[in-house]
Structure formats: C-alpha cells, structure tokens
Amino acid sequence: MPEFVQVAGHAPAFEFAPLLSVVVPVRNEGPNILPLVGEIRSALAGRDYEILYVDDGSLDETPLRLREAVLTGAPLRWLRHRRSRGQSAAIITGVRHAAGRWIATLDGDGQNDPADIPALLEQALARDTGARGPVLVAGHRVRRRDGAMKRLTSSIANAVRAWLLDDGTPDTGCGLKVFRRDAFLELPHFDHMHRFLPALFLRAGGRVVSVPVNHRPRRHGRSNYGTRGRLGVGIFDVAGMLWLMRRWHPPEIEDASEGEAAEGSSAARARCREPVPPGASV
C-alpha cells in the first residue's frame, strides 16, 4: 500500500467477492457525496456490487459526508490520500483495493449518470470472451453539459490524441468506464493515465467499445481536476504514450493445442503398434 494512503470507512462483509466495484475518485466534493451514493444504489439495486470512494486529500466536508453515507447502509468503503495525488492516482488506489472482478469508474461530481452503469457492464460481460484480449467499455458523452472553455479544450485534446494515438475513441475524458480489475492492474501506471485508458488497452492487445451515455451539469461546487494546464500537460502525456505504444507490440498467439493434441494421439497410437522388445515393461 502506498505510504500516502489511509484506509478508512466501512468494509461490507462479502461471503464471495462482488461482481462489480464502483470506484469513485473525489476531491472536495462534499455536497455531491450523498446524492451520488443514493443514485448508485438505485441504479444497481439487486446486483452484486460495492462502492469504493477514494478521497484524494479533500479539505472540505467530504470525509464527513462519506461517514454519513456509510451510516445509510450503503455497501460503501472509502480510502483517503493524506495529500492530493491526482485523479489517476485515486483511480489506481481504488482499483488496487477493490474487491470486485469488474470495475466501473465514475466521476464524483455527479455529471456522470450511474443509471448508465448496467448497460456498460452488460456490454463488457457480453464481449469478455477471453480470446480477443481485455475489453474496455467507455462512455461517450454525446451531449456535453460543461462550460464553453472546458468543451473547447476537451475537443482539441481529443482531436490531437485521436490523430496521434489512433485509439478510435471519440471521448476518452468521460469518467464512466467499465473494465476487468486484473486487466487494469497489468497496465503501466502513471499520472494522467486515466485519459489514455483506450490506448493502453489497445496496446495490451485488447478492444475498446464506446457507448453513448448521459451527461449532466454540475449541481454543486466546481471542478477540482480542472482545465488549467490540461493542453500543456497533455502534450507531454501524448508524447509519452507514443513512446509506450512504439516500444511494445502484443504478439499474435495461435492456438495450436488442437493440432498438437491430434499429433500426440497419432504418436501414441503409433507407439502402441510398435513391437515390444522382450523383457521391456509396458
């Protein structure tokens, strides 16, 4: 466990690991905690899941609201970074500590709609054949409900990223994504990696599926992982991703087990037809 992480909150008693862990990174989102937890519970009622919040060094009432959410009986655990380490670090912490086989990530500001999680999960389960590599199901905010500046910077960043990385994903910035926990843990981890999950899954030999999702205006507070410096930092991030993708090409694996099994059976039958030398053990 990283030195900057404190484990806190309530751990539900699972007889078996849940199918899904909803990982929510937050920083100074106190007013949005209880409404979003309630929406997650409504969206996933009757399903096998847990909610795992990661408080990225909040300085507001976020810890108090998380304790209140636990008292409502929500299947909620929460972790806290002693100092803010960024959204990617919070997601990595949450996935590492999650109990579920599948992960759904969700922004903590309430703009992502938890009602979209079941559809993304069904898409992921249907495409998880294992033969074609890990699958990432990414939300696509067809109708953005952000301010003009944020929409502009995001559109520029998406265009540059798509041109250079060719990840075939119209909206990598959407916080709503579903993927297998073990697949995520095998990826390289670095600051701002959450913006490059489609490219990282493709680099690992996987697939990316984009699904239209609802997007809502922020009701309380302001963005804590804002647009300031996003384009400047993004240039270095994209350069790093280009280096990563050029340094590794997943091998194409052929399943030769059937041919080998047939050859083995033929060899075994041939051996059975060979004369047995006198005194040899059979």
Question: Strand, coil or helix: what is 10?
Answer: coil
d(CA 120, CA 118) in angstroms, rounded, equals 6
Mean pLDDT of all residues belonging to the chain: 81
Instruction: Say what the pLDDT of residue 7 is.
Output: 57
Is 65 inside a domain boundary?
yes
pLDDT of residue 237: 74
User: What SS3 class is residue 202?
Assistant: helix
Transcribe 35-58 into DSSP letters.
Answer: HHHHHHHHHTTTS-EEEEEEEES-
Q: Are 78 and 66 in contact, with CB atoms under 8 Å apart?
A: yes
Question: Would you state the pLDDT for residue 271?
Answer: 47
Number of structural domains found in the chain: 1
Q: What is the pLDDT of residue 273?
A: 46
> Is 189 a residue whose pLDDT tops 70?
yes
Average pLDDT over residues 160-178: 80
If one compares 266 and 63, the residue with the highest pLDDT of the two is 63
At residue 163, the pLDDT reads 63
Report the alpha-carbon distance of residue 60 to residue 32 in Å, rounded.
12
Q: Percent of the chain scored above 90 by pLDDT?
A: 52
Query: Higher confidence at residue 8 or residue 121?
Result: 121
Strands (E) across 159-243 are located at: 177-180, 207-213
d(CA 108, CA 122) in angstroms, rounded, equals: 22
Does residue 107 belong to any structural domain of this protein?
yes
Q: Which is more confidently placed, 193 or 212?
A: 212
How do residues 41-56 score in pLDDT, each as one tens digit?
999 999 999 999 999 9
The answer to whether residue 189 sits within a structural domain is yes
Beta strands in the chain (DSSP E): 5-8, 20-26, 49-56, 76-81, 102-105, 135-141, 177-180, 207-213
Q: Is the confidence at residue 223, as pLDDT, over 80?
A: no
**Looking at residue 242, which CATH number applies to its domain?**
3.90.550.10
Q: Note whether residue 279 is domain-resident.
A: no
Task: Tell me if 131 is assigned to some domain.
Answer: yes
Residue 235 vs residue 258, higher pLDDT: 235
Q: How many CB atoms are closer than 10 A to CB 164? A: 14
Structure tokens at 225: 């992982």
Is residue 51 included in any domain, yes or no?
Answer: yes
**Full domain range(s) for residue 211:** 5-246
| Per-residue pLDDT tens digits for 125-153 | 999 976 678 999 999 988 876 555 565 55
pLDDT in tens, 24-34: 999 999 999 99
Q: Is the pLDDT of residue 104 over 90?
A: yes
Domain assignment present for residue 206? The answer is: yes
**Cα 26 to Cα 61: distance, rounded to the nearest angstrom:** 12
Residue 229 lies in a domain: yes
Query: For residue 101, what pLDDT is reported?
Result: 96
pLDDT of residue 270: 47
Does residue 80 register a pLDDT over 70?
A: yes
Rounded mean pLDDT of 150-176?
Answer: 72
Per the structure block, which two tokens stand in for 262?
Answer: 């047939």
